Structures are given as C-alpha cells and as structure tokens.
A and B are shown apart, each in its own frame.
Chain A
Amino acid sequence: MRLTLHGTRGSMGRAGPETALFGGDTSCIDISNGEDSLLILDAGSGLSRLNQILNPPPARIDILLTHLHLDHLQGLGFFRPAFSGDVEVHLWGPASSTMTLSERLSRYLSPPLFPVRIRDLPGLRFHDLRPGTYQIGNYEVVADLVCHPGPTLGFRISHGSKTVTYLPDHEPALGGNFPRPGEWTSGFDLSNSADLLIHDFQYTADEYEERIGWGHSSIPHALAFANQVGAKRMISFHHDPDHDDTELDRLHQAARDSGLSFELTSGQTGLTVDL
C-alpha cells in the first residue's frame, strides 16, 4: 500500500508561511496499491489537491468519511471527479439514527452554506456505514464507532499482510483513568498491532485540560494509546490550527525524546508512505 497525505490539519484550515511544512489543508489521505483501486480517507480541503494528481481519474473512487464535521467535508464540493458522470465516487460515512448520509450531507452541500447542491454532483453514491467489516475495492475495511462527538467511525484498512488504522478525531482518554484495559478503550481493536496508526495529535497536555470532551487527544494520550495497542509506527495527524511548524517540530522532538516503543512520523502534507 502507498499512502499520501494531502491534508493533516485539524478543525479548520490554516494556510500561511508559518504552516508551510506541515500544511494548512484539512484531513485527506489517499491509499493506492498499484491496482485499479483508489481509496480516499476523508474529504477535507486536502481533497482538492487530488484534482491535479488524478488526471485522468479512475472510473471508481471510494471515499471513507470518518464523520461529517466540516473539516472532513470541505473538499467534497471542489472535487472535480464528483462533477463528472463518468466517475463513480462512492461515499462511505457513518449511519445515523435519524437521517441518511445523503440527507445529512445535503445540509452542507446546499444553499445558503454552499452554492452547489448535492444533486449537482452526479458521480456521488452513498453508503450508510455501520460498524462491521466491508470489502471496498481490494481493501478489507473494518469500521467501528470511536469516541468523538456525534457518530464517528475509525477505520482499519488491510491489503495483503499490511494494516493501517485511521483515527483522525479520537479522544480515548475521555472519562479519565487512561490508559485503561484494552476492552474498555475506544479504538483498541481497530488499532491492535497495526503496521501504521494515523492518530489525532491535536493538543498539548495543558491545552487538553481546557478541552476535555471536545473529541481530541492530547499528545501524551496519543502516544500512550499507540504504545498500548502495539502500533509499529504512528503518523501524527489533525494538528491544531494554532500549532505552527516551529511548535509542531518542538512537540514531535519532545515526544521522540521521551522514548517511544514505535516510530513516530510527523504528519506533513505531501508525505508518502509505502507499506
């Protein structure tokens, strides 16, 4: 599998010279494997970077949406393949007990919040996703609900012998007493012994104390979680918009200096990882 990060910023975009290294676009990753199967994780503003890269786009694209907060959707209305009737863009997002995925997405993809209506994107196909195991393209995808406000999925994606877990918005420490046994830990089964864990890295420990319940991890919690699940490698993700490149470099170095049982890779836009 080859993963490319197109947006690693959390909550809102933050473009500028102070964020040029880590990037200002919000959540988006593509996964390819040399076969005719393209999987995209989330549709944040980073999705628009794929307009230039997918030229021409494949006949089918699958996008897994962890949840429907705007920083994970903003790129959808600017994703050119969705406007083409020649490309099937399959959207897989968390089911809700009240409305379909299409109905909920329509709340954003319609005036006055957005000029384009969802019906103007003929390529879109909708799949309301519940916890379970799915075959999407030539990937096995395990979806499960994780700790974040509103229905939010995490994904464990396998191809061949390699496994990637994607938990961009995740607060496993909510309620205190963390780390706790695996059976009582959000995201544990999804992440257990993953070759690569892509995980929420939003807050410092001090920032987290003022934002408990907002659905994100402190950096110490993210590192403890990766250690607990036995991840081989972790990519930091969903960087706080107030953390500029200098601050993020400092935070990553401090994390590495603390002595980790896994490899910590800085989640920077444009990074490509082969598994």
Chain B
Amino acid sequence: MAQHPIEMILLKQWASLIAVPVWITDADGRLIYYNEATEEIIGLRFEDAGELSAEQLSEVFVLCDLDGSPLATDDRPLIIALTKQMASHRRIRFLRSDKEWREIAVTALPIIGEGNRQLGAMVTMWEDKD
C-alpha cells in the first residue's frame, strides 16, 4: 500500500493520542483510521473493522435521521466535507455493532493540503445527551 500524505500521517498520530473521537478517511472516502474514543461510541474496534471503502462503509454503518427516515448519502456530513470541501454538522441516529440505536452529533471537516490538494476528511462525534 502506498504511503499516506504526511498531513494524514500526522493527523492519525495526533488522533491516536487524544480522548476525543476522530475518524479519518482519505480523499476517496475510504476509512483509514479511527481512534479508541471512536471505538467506544460505535462499539467496534478499528482493528476489527479495518480499512473500508466508501461503499463498504454504507453497508457496515447504518445511519438515519433523528426521525428514523433514511439519510441520503449526499446529506451525510462526511460526504459533504469530501464533495463540497466544507465543514458540516448534523445530529443523526446510527446502529451500533451490538444492534442498539444511538443518537450522536457528527462534525466533519475536509482536509486540504497546500496547493488545494484534497487529502480526505476527519470526523468527530459525540453522544447526544439531550
């Protein structure tokens, strides 16, 4: 596998050291890493999930709107960050690996290198306590 850009290597190293959930995808939307704080929310270790393509992500992680209606792919914060190169925030429901529905808030940011190089996106999430 080719080496990731240094910006993504440093992002992963930083994410691995902090207690805030961080999820990282490459420019194609491929999941390349999430940290232990994310594992606690989604109920699945990264070592068990492994790297997943954008298509595989949709199969493994089931998301919907707060009212239970399906969430269109284009409305997902991660997809907005990747395709529109802008930050995006949304409250959603998702199905944990233990089949329990949870409400979480999700914020996605595009990762853009110098020279407008589209490198990927990072997502942070937290459980909605309201």
A interface list, Cβ under 8 A from B:
95-97, 130-131, 144-147, 151, 174-177, 182-186, 188-189
Contacts and interface: CB of A to CB of B under 8 A. Distances in A.
Interface of B: 1-7, 9-10, 12-14, 16-17, 113-115, 117
Kindly list the 6 A-B residue pairs having the minimum CB-CB distance in the complex, ordered from nearest.
A175-B13, A189-B3, A145-B6, A188-B3, A97-B114, A183-B1
Main secondary structure of the interface of A (DSSP, over half): loop
B114 A147 contact: no
B16 A144 contact: no
Contacts of A189: 2-3
Contacts of A185: 3, 9
A147 B1 contact: no
Given A145-B5, A146-B6, A183-B1, A130 B114 contact: yes
A188 B1 CA distance: 11
Contacts of B5: 131, 145
A261 to B, nearest CB: 20
A171 B19 CA distance: 24
Q: Among B2, B4, B14, which residue has the most Cβ atoms of chain A within 10 A?
A: B4
A119 to B, nearest CB: 26
B3 A130 contact: no
A96 B114 contact: yes
A214 B20 CA distance: 25
7 contacts: A96-B114, A147-B9, A175-B13, A175-B16, A183-B4, A185-B9, A189-B3
Q: Among B5, B9, B14, B113, which residue has the most Cβ atoms of chain A within 10 A?
A: B9
A176 B14 CA distance: 10
Contacts of A175: 10, 13-14, 16-17
Q: Among B2, B6, B16, B17, which residue has the most Cβ atoms of chain A within 10 A?
A: B6
A177 B35 CA distance: 14
Contacts of A130: 114-115, 117
B118 to A, nearest CB: 13
Given A175-B17, A184-B4, 10 more contacts: A95-B115, A130-B114, A145-B113, A146-B6, A174-B10, A175-B10, A175-B13, A175-B16, A182-B3, A189-B2
Contacts of B4: 183-184
Contacts of B2: 183, 189
B16 A177 contact: yes
A116 B87 CA distance: 45
B86 to A, nearest CB: 17
A174 B2 CA distance: 20
Contacts of A184: 3-4, 9, 12
Contact of A95 (B14, B17, B114): B114
Contacts of B16: 175, 177
Nearest to B13: A175
Nearest to A188: B3
